[in-house]
Amino acid sequence: MKKVFIWLLVISMIVVFSLVGCKEEAAAEEEEEMAEEEVAEEEEMAEEEAAPLDIPLGFSYDPAMAAAILADAGYVDTDGDGLVEAPDGSKIELTVTCPFGWTDWMEAISVISSSAMESGINLVAETPDYGAWNTALMDGTFNATLNNWASLSNTPWTLYNLLFRHPIVDLMQSGNFGRYENQEIFDLVDQLAATQTDDIAGMQDICGQIQTTMLTEMPMIPLWYNGLWSQWNDSVWSNWPSSAEDAPKSLPTSWSGYWQLGGLTTLANLEPVEGVEAGTGTYARNETLYMSGAAWGAFSDLNPFLPGTKANSTGTIGLLYESLFQYDPLTNEMTPFLAESGEWTDDSTYVVKIRDGIKWTDGQTLDANDVKFTFELGQTYPGGIWYAPMWDYLDSIDLVDDLTLQFNFTAPLYQEFSNNLYNIFIVPEHIWASRTEEEITAGINENPVGSGAYEWDAAGVGPDRNVWTKNNDWWAIDALGMDVAPNKIVDIRFSSNNVALGSILKGEVDLSNNFLPGVAELVNKGYVKSYFPEAPYMLSANTAVLFLNTTIAPMNDAAFRRALAFAINTGDIVNVAYANLVKAADPSGLLPSLSTFNNY
């Protein structure tokens, strides 16, 4: 009943607002005529000056520059309300959005809005529900919005592929949300994709061209690096990775897929603190790692091929299933993992050798057949497997022997393929081959058989926790001399931040990957630890980018977009919205680990 009332209320409000809006429009039209004359006069004056503006490529917060660019392009305040109008005299009314409840972003967009307003750009912060926000993002019906979906990567292509995703279609689901059309930059990104990953000079050259165009055209604005949120309590486990000289260096996180990016190394480096008692529970306290913040929801599946849901059962990829290579974002190196080696024998042939003696948890041997099977799933089920597009340029996979595979390409996209080498998780053919399409692309995959350091503990799983048990026969113990320390991992989902904070303070949780506002203060006082002992405290995980919808006026004008980039007070986002937990981004948008490719 209440809902019906709310709907009625909403409808009546819409009616009222549209009536008011009509009146305003009529008034605005009258003003417009007057304003046009004024603009014409000012334009004449501007032409007389005619000194070209010297705008630096690398933008930074500079209200004077923003004002100069705006004035130069004809955006002036004609009606005296402190906000500029478009060169044709029409009012500018824009919104910047992020999902409701993403508190850090909500504060960030309020900073973006207020600093833009100060420069005379009418940009209002709005926070729709996640679903509405997500749909507007992909439909291209937003004005300006934040997004950070480019994952940690060994190549600059990953970010630019997201920023300049093409072609533009009705549903832009995985990048270029602002629908920026520029064939020149699209070609550059394609060229980058087809560049060998060891051709550093070639990549730098193309990145330089992309960045120059991007920073002149400013179709989106890279603002800050989101942190790899992680804080820990070292009362039970010690030897955590940190920036301290003698500390191990790896990523202290359990986020979806991040085990593969060094999280596993963190587990191997941990050392139990002496004198901790086992306690009365099922899991001995001194052998168990409690963590939180990685799982977004209760356990839903253990299927490494499902989109979007991996965040619920973190560990499915990385702890249970493993990839051919591991990528370490701290050193920017890829190291062979399930693979013993892998190399391009010529421009279109890649040969991988699998390690000898790797066993699945059911005792069967992991060999080249499993790898071939896993990669070929993308060819068999193009609708439901995310890496299916690789088969556009992958011709076939040949088995050379039981442990050697040869990938035969037509026109390889080297950069995408190198991403795939550590993002595709190998499943056992003897279990998966008999499954139906639905079971493979949309199945829960109960009682999984993996090759990784941990096994799924089906008896321990609860609606608010996932439990992993150490695989004592893990191949890497012998092959790599790498052994994970905790016998059990209990991955907890807290439904509120105050609980997460309370638990890490009490030492009930060892590692928290929650974003805890104000955690800097707790690190300073020594209650919890983080990677850096001072700002920014956290490692950088991805770039928060302000996407601008380039299909609508005035954001279809590069000068306006550029002015906006200079108008946003990134310093306030870092200091105020995040209380120094993040770093301002490089204008290129590339993470610090890829700074070699900043070339503008």
The footprint of another protein on residues 100-129 (CB under 8 A) is 101, 128-129
Contact flags string 63-92 toward another protein, x per CB under 8 A:
------------------------------
| Contact string 311-330 vs another protein (x = CB under 8 A) | -x------------------
Q: Using CA atoms, how far apart are residues 579 and 453, in angstroms rounded to an integer?
A: 37
In the region spanning residues 359 to 378, those forming contacts with another protein, defined by CB under 8 A, are none
Contacts of 268 (CB under 8 A, 6+ apart): 482, 483, 484, 485
User: Contacts with another protein in 402-441 (CB under 8 A)?
Assistant: 438, 441
Residue of 171, 245, 434, 481 interacting with another protein (CB under 8 A): 171
**Binder to another protein among 389, 507, 571, 592 (CB under 8 A)?**
389
Residue with smaller CB distance to another protein, 55 or 501: 501
H or E stretch at 17 = helix 2-49
- Shortest separation between residue 503's beta carbon and another protein, angstroms: 6
**How many whole angstroms separate alpha carbon 100 and alpha carbon 285?**
38
Range 532-571, binding another protein (CB under 8 A): none
Q: Is there a contact between 510 and 230 (Cβ–Cβ < 8 Å)?
A: no
Token pair of 65, please? 């520059």
Q: Which amino acid makes up residue 6?
A: I
CA distance 131 to 137: 10
Q: Which of residues 463-492 bind another protein (CB under 8 A)?
A: 463-465, 467, 490, 492
Cβ nearer to another protein, comparing 290 with 537: 290
Q: Show the beta-strand stretches assigned E in 457-562.
A: 465-470, 488-492, 511-512, 540-548
Q: How far is the CB of 388 from another protein (least distance, A)?
A: 6
| Beta carbon of residue 189, minimum distance to another protein (angstroms, whole number) | 12
308 belongs to the binding site for another protein (CB under 8 A): yes
Tell me whether residue 298 or residue 351 sits nearer to another protein (CB atom).
298
* Shortest reach from residue 302's CB to another protein, in Å: 11
- Number of residues engaging another protein in binding (CB under 8 A): 73
Binding residue for another protein, selected from 336, 460, 517, 571, defined by CB under 8 A: 460
Name the one range near another protein by CB under 8 A: 106-114, 496-504, 525-533, 586-594: 496-504
- The CA distance from 20 to 465, in Å, is 51
Name the residue nearer to another protein (CB basis): 40 or 442.
442
Name the region of 179 (left: φ>0; alpha: ψ -120 to 50; beta: rest). Answer: left
459 touches another protein by CB under 8 A: yes
Among the candidate windows 172-180, 469-477, 530-538, 546-554, which touches another protein by CB under 8 A?
172-180
From the list 494, 531, 547, 560, which residue makes contact with another protein (rule: CB under 8 A)? 494
Pick out residues in 270-299 that bind another protein (CB under 8 A).
279-283, 285, 288, 290, 297-298
CB neighbours of residue 453 within 10 Å: 27
Please state the closest distance from residue 578 (CB atom) to another protein, in A.
23
Question: Does the protein bind another protein through residue 131 (CB under 8 A)?
Answer: yes
Can you tell me the distance from the alpha carbon of 398 to that of 267, in angstroms, rounded to the nearest whole number? 35
Candidates 19, 462, 473, 553; binder of another protein (CB under 8 A) is 462
HSE-up (13 A, CA, CB side) for residue 411: 6
Nearer to another protein, 180 or 283 (CB): 283
Read off the amino acid at residue 592.
P
Shortest approach of another protein to residue 499 CB, angstroms? 4
Alpha carbons 257 and 513: distance in angstroms, whole number: 14
Amino acid at 336: P
Token readout for 275 is 């004198």
User: Beta 144-147 vs 231-232: how paired, if at all?
Assistant: unpaired
Which among 71-79, 330-338, 362-370, 459-467 is the span making contact with another protein, rule CB under 8 A? 459-467
At which residue do the structure tokens 């060999």 appear? 367
CB of 373 to another protein, least distance (A): 21
In whole angstroms, the minimum distance from the beta carbon of 149 to another protein comes to 6
Q: Which of 24, 57, 149, 187 binds another protein (CB under 8 A)?
A: 149
With beta carbons less than 8 A apart as the criterion, state whether 597 and 154 touch. Answer: no
The residue among 131 and 363 lying less far from another protein, judged by its C-beta, is 131
Question: Out of 95, 122, 197, 300, which residue is the one contacting another protein (CB under 8 A)?
Answer: 300
Between 7 and 532, name the residue whose CB sits nearer to another protein: 7
Interaction between residue 138 and another protein (CB under 8 A): yes
Look-up of token digits 């009146």: 23
Helix (H, G, I), strand (E, B) or coil at 98: coil
CB of 414 to another protein, least distance (A): 16
Nearer to another protein, 173 or 595 (CB): 173
From the list 13-21, 133-141, 356-364, 404-412, the region that binds another protein by CB under 8 A is 133-141
Yes or no: say if 295 and 495 are a contact pair by the CB < 8 Å rule.
Answer: no
Residue with tokens 């209380």: 579
Q: Which of 68, 117, 124, 132 binds another protein (CB under 8 A)?
A: 132
- Window 21-50: residues binding another protein (CB under 8 A): none
Binder to another protein among 28, 479, 480, 505 (CB under 8 A)? 505
Nearest to 347 by CA among 286, 279, 393: 393
Report the DSSP beta bridge partners of residue 462.
465
State in angstroms the smallest separation of the CB of 343 from another protein: 25
Distances (CA, A) of 531 to 9, 281, 295, 462, 539: 50, 31, 21, 30, 7
Measured from the CB of residue 251, what is the shortest distance to another protein in angstroms?
19
- Nearest approach in angstroms of CB 138 to another protein is 5
Residues 6+ apart with CB under 8 A from 481: none
Residue number, 55 or 188, with CB nearest to another protein: 188
- CB atoms closer than 10 angstroms to residue 245: 5
How far is the C-alpha of 134 from the C-alpha of 101, rounded, in Å? 14
Q: Got the DSSP string for 439-480?
A: HHHH----S----SSEEE-TTT-BTTEEEEEE-TT-HHHHHT
Return the closest-CA partner of residue 173 out of 135, 134, 138. 138
Cβ(581)–Cβ(519) below 8 Å? yes
Cα dihedral sign, 288-289-293-299: negative
Contacting range for another protein; rule: CB under 8 A; set: 221-229, 239-247, 369-377, 462-470: 462-470
